[in-house]
Amino acid sequence: MLARAVIWMNLALVFYTWAVFSGRRQGLHPKHLLIFGIGLVCDFLGTNQMNMVAALYGKAPEWHNITGIASLAGMGFHFLLALTATLLHRAEAVNVLFHRVSLTIYSCWLLAFVTGAVSGMMRM
């Protein structure tokens, strides 16, 4: 179960990183929405698996729970912003705001990812 959670979280890292930096370099396009969506699904599945592990072996530290929930919500917001811009065909108009928000949310998500890895390693 832990191995699956680690795989899902690492896939989320790969897809989310790819989407953020590819979108930043190329501008926001529908393909980035797909990549964001895959990253969001991977993050959700990984978080769900991690919650199951925590229920079996003890809770994660409170600070990781807070950063994890906030970053998953931020990633969801990030995806909705990309979806809205794409559906309204306003991706270019949203690019400046999107990329400013993008790096902030990505940094928070990366912080949660790292704190989870550190927390997990400290418990082993």
pLDDT score for 124 = 59
Indicate the residue type of 120.
Answer: G
**Taking the chain, what is the end-to-end CA distance rounded to the nearest angstrom?**
15
Residue ranges of the domains in the chain? 2-123
Chain centroid to CA 22: how far?
15
The pLDDT, as a whole number, for residue 53 is 79
Token digits for 123? 């418990």
**Whose structure tokens read 């990253």?**
39
- Residue 65 near residue 28, CB atoms below 8 Å: no
Q: What is the pLDDT along the chain (124 residues), one digit of tens a residue?
A: 778 988 999 999 999 999 888 877 887 778 888 998 999 999 999 888 887 877 787 766 677 777 778 888 888 888 888 788 777 776 666 667 777 778 888 888 888 888 877 777 766 5
Determine the pLDDT at residue 14.
Answer: 95
Residue 92's pLDDT is 66
How far lies 107's CA from each of 9, 100, 117, in Å?
15, 11, 15
What is the distance between the alpha carbons of residues 28 and 69, in angstroms, rounded to a whole number? 25
pTM: 0.81
